[in-house]
């Protein structure tokens, strides 16, 4: 009888331990895949100032990877972002936008400055060494690669997402520019 009672007690304790371990896994929030987007970087803006990921804190931000020699995707995305700024009106000053080049060999600060003059002046261009740009690209799980052209030259194949980040610099979602600028502006304004 003592053996049965002892065995029953051991089984009960083992069951409680198993329930406790299972509860730990169920109740402990996992790191979401969106938490893995964004991270540390140090780059240079179009005026020559150093910028880190700390610049994304305090205000919602848009982050877009592209390059100044892009034939269509980049100018279209930057135009759409400029339209969102217009739709936000005075609230647009509460939004930061970072255009991070994936082609730092050609996109020096002065190149970015001249290119971005065609878009909303609040868009900040960022560049750096190849290593610095690669660190930022990896932090956002973005993709970029050089594609040679016949007869010389190259273009960059790259991620075309515009990342929406909250006031803490955390990824919220990608922007959908098939929506009217007013809808995107409303969505961003919810983060102010």
> Mean per-residue pLDDT for 13-32?
38
Q: What's the pLDDT at 36?
A: 83
Tell me the whole-structure pTM to 2 decimals.
Answer: 0.80
Long-range (24+ apart) CB contacts under 8 A made by 173-179 are 173/34, 175/62, 177/76, 177/77, 177/80
Q: What's the pLDDT at 35?
A: 60
Query: Looking at per-residue confidence, does 6 or 161 come out higher?
Result: 161
pLDDT(162) > 90: yes
């Amino acid at each position: 009888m003592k053996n049965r009672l002892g065995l029953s007690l051991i089984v009960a304790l083992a069951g409680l331990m198993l329930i406790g371990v299972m509860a730990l896994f169920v109740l402990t929030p996992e790191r979401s895949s969106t938490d893995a987007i964004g991270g540390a970087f140090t780059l240079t803006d179009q005026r020559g100032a150093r910028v880190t990921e700390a610049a994304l804190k305090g205000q919602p931000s848009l982050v877009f990877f592209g390059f100044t020699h892009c034939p269509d995707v980049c100018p279209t995305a930057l135009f759409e972002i400029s339209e969102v700024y217009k739709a936000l009106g005075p609230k647009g000053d509460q939004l930061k936008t970072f255009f991070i080049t994936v082609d730092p060999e050609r996109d020096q600060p002065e190149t970015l400055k001249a290119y971005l003059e065609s878009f909303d002046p609040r868009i900040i261009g960022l560049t750096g060494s190849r290593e610095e740009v690669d660190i930022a690209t990896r932090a956002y799980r973005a993709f970029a690669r050089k594609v040679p052209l016949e007869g010389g030259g190259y273009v960059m194949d790259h991620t075309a997402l515009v990342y929406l980040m909250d006031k803490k610099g955390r990824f919220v979602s990608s922007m959908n520019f098939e929506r009217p600028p007013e809808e995107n502006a409303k969505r961003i304004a919810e983060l102010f």
